[in-house]
């Protein structure tokens, strides 16, 4: 695969896509790696007691999975200059069925020395991250 260049990009181009299946085990593993052991991420009773629809995936896990989608296309994670999202909707991870995320990365803008990649992250028919944008540094 050839490294992407600014001159090869057009606003609206899809540069990467992927689907990710989350399980309760995924959440436990992420909790161990991140140190975030909030029980809303693994206990149905606690999630229900605070009014949640079920056990939720960690927001930072969802955010990390989203940005990781562009890394193979970039060829180097060091090309990521800036990344931000708004957490808009929860990802409920069912004990049996898990949860499926779909991530699409599109060129949102091309600048003199960088590009903005807009990420759409959905769970079912619901977009779960708002204004998910990655600014990447690319050569001409």
Summarize pLDDT for 61-111 with one digit per residue, the tens. Answer: 999 999 999 999 999 999 999 999 999 999 999 999 999 999 999 999 999
Which residues make beta-bridge pairs with 102? 19, 122
**Is the pTM higher than 0.85?**
yes
Write down the residue that tokens 């940005």 correspond to.
67
Question: What phi, psi does 12 have (nearest 5°)?
Answer: 100, -15
Which residue, 82, 75, 72, is CA-closest to 111? 82
Length of the chain: 140
CATH superfamily ID and name for 6-22+58-137: Hotdog Thioesterase (3.10.129.10)
Q: Where are the domains of the chain?
A: 6-22+58-137
Look up residue 14 and give its two tokens: 């899809």
Write down the residue that tokens 């609206």 correspond to.
12
- Residue 1 pLDDT level (bands cut at 50, 70, 90): low
């Amino acid at each position: 695969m050839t490294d992407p260049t600014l001159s090869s990009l057009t606003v609206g181009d899809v540069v990467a896509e992927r689907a990710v299946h989350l399980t309760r085990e995924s959440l436990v593993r992420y909790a161990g790696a991140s140190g975030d052991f909030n029980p809303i991420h693994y206990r149905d009773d606690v999630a229900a007691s605070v009014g949640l629809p079920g056990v939720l995936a960690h927001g930072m896990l969802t955010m990390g999975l989203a940005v990781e989608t562009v890394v193979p296309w970039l060829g180097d994670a060091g090309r990521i200059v800036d990344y931000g999202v708004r957490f808009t909707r929860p990802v409920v991870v069912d004990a049996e069925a898990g949860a499926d995320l779909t991530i699409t990365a599109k060129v949102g803008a091309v600048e003199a020395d960088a590009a903005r990649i807009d990420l759409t992250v959905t769970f079912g028919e619901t977009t779960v991250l708002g204004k998910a944008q990655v600014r990447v540094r690319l050569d001409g």
